[in-house]
Structure 1
């Protein structure tokens, strides 16, 4: 797939759930990378509150991960009830908080590129915008940062992928149903 195919929906090569998972993985990677820099103790701590600012940015980034997780759950078939249960809130609260994000995501899938005075802009979140590139980058990041044997011994959930393909090996592929739905949306656009 050409990552910059401007004709038609974004989910022509990969289904919506796969693109949503790539966006979630990319957002989670950003949080992990950002959090890593709060771990070391500098020899001379800064006199100001830079670590507080960085922690606040980390919280904002974590909220983006949560939003992408909800989008992914909805694209994977989860009901608002199951999302609300996972968040320990009411169904209405979950819907109120995240339904706009899900709607924006779906609109961006149907029309990934828009133009304005500055030129063309991709409306998809990082990860879904250039899926082939992000798959490779996320596979490499996992290979460098995750050791399944150590993670399993420490009780962390172990990714199902192995070796150098912990992301790309596990993304859902199109089924006849998802391929038909994508083609139908393309015909309507």
Structure 2
């Protein structure tokens, strides 16, 4: 995780949510593998404190547990049932749901709100969304390179991680846009930020433009124009709002 608030050009919107979940899982597994490999050499054993190796092994268990959480999130993003997940965990459906539902809910929230609320006076906000999902292009390139370096059998595969991620369909992208709009209106007591709403509307306009071209639907082009006009109006409102 990182405390940097910079948005990497909203690149995650070009990825399906399943792909983002898989990248987060892959990144956790890479971290686990690196940390486990660091414990293989014996060169530093003579300087280890009593019990230190046990502590290192326990850290690996915690890292593996985080990878397990990411695996559950990935499976749920693929619409795998809690029953199937529970079967793999040797527990009942309800037990699996109760154990991991908060993590899945936090993932869904992070997709809409990638940063935590800023503490009073803090210059930046902490990152709620997993870093690999927040900057998937950078993370994917790093993971591809890691696989080439550490797994000889995959060296002939050009993109062993990013080349097999589930693609973002037009339908899913529209669902993402609508989910984002619904999220903005989730709190009836607080009107949505016009700047945030404008950004989502602009995404909707770009998507409608693509639908108009790819599917030959002139009404989508008209809807895109209307969406852009609304976005411009919202930007104007945001500019006039007091700081």
The two structures have a TM-score, normalised by structure 1, of 0.84
Question: Of residues 130, 133, 141 in structure 2, which corresponds to 1:136?
Answer: 141
Report the Cα distance in structure 2 between the residues aligned to 1:179 and 1:43, rounded to whole angstroms.
51
> Where do 1:39-54 residues align within 5 Å?
39-42=40-43, 44-45=45-46, 46-54=48-56
Q: CA deviation at 1:147?
A: 1.7
Structure with the higher fraction of residues in helix conformation: 2
Q: CA deviation at 1:162?
A: 4.9
Q: Alignment length, in residue pairs?
A: 174
Give the gaps of 5 or more residues in structure 1.
Answer: 149-158
Q: CA deviation at 1:129?
A: 2.0
What residue in structure 2 maps to residue 56 of structure 1?
58
> Where do 1:143-158 residues align within 5 Å?
143-148=148-153
Q: Check whether the contact 1:84–1:93 (CA below 8 A) recurs between aligned residues.
A: yes
Q: Check whether the contact 1:27–1:126 (CA below 8 A) recurs between aligned residues.
A: no
Larger relative contact order (Cα-Cα within 8 Å, sequence gap ≥ 6): 1
Q: CA deviation at 1:44?
A: 4.6
Structure with the higher fraction of residues in strand conformation: 1
Deviation per CA, 1:75-112: give whole Å up to 9, x if none.
01101011111111110110011000000000000111
The two structures have a TM-score, normalised by structure 2, of 0.67
Q: Check whether the contact 2:12–2:136 (CA below 8 A) recurs between aligned residues.
A: no
Report the Cα distance in structure 2 between the residues aligned to 1:164 and 1:49, rounded to whole angstroms.
43
1:97 aligns with 2:90: no
Structure 1 pair 162–90 and aligned structure 2 pair: CA distance change class (3 A): farther
Give the gaps of 5 or more residues in structure 2.
Answer: 1-5, 185-243
What residue in structure 2 maps to residue 38 of structure 1?
39
Question: Of residues 82, 87, 110 in structure 1, which corresponds to 2:84?
Answer: 82
Q: Check whether the contact 1:140–1:164 (CA below 8 A) recurs between aligned residues.
A: no
Flag the structure with larger Rg.
2
What residue in structure 1 maps to residue 15 of structure 2?
14
Q: Check whether the contact 2:12–2:134 (CA below 8 A) recurs between aligned residues.
A: no
1:178 aligns with 2:179: no
Q: CA deviation at 1:116?
A: 1.1
Structure 1 pair 81–180 and aligned structure 2 pair: CA distance change class (3 A): same
User: Over aligned residue pairs, what C-alpha RMSD do you find?
Assistant: 2.0
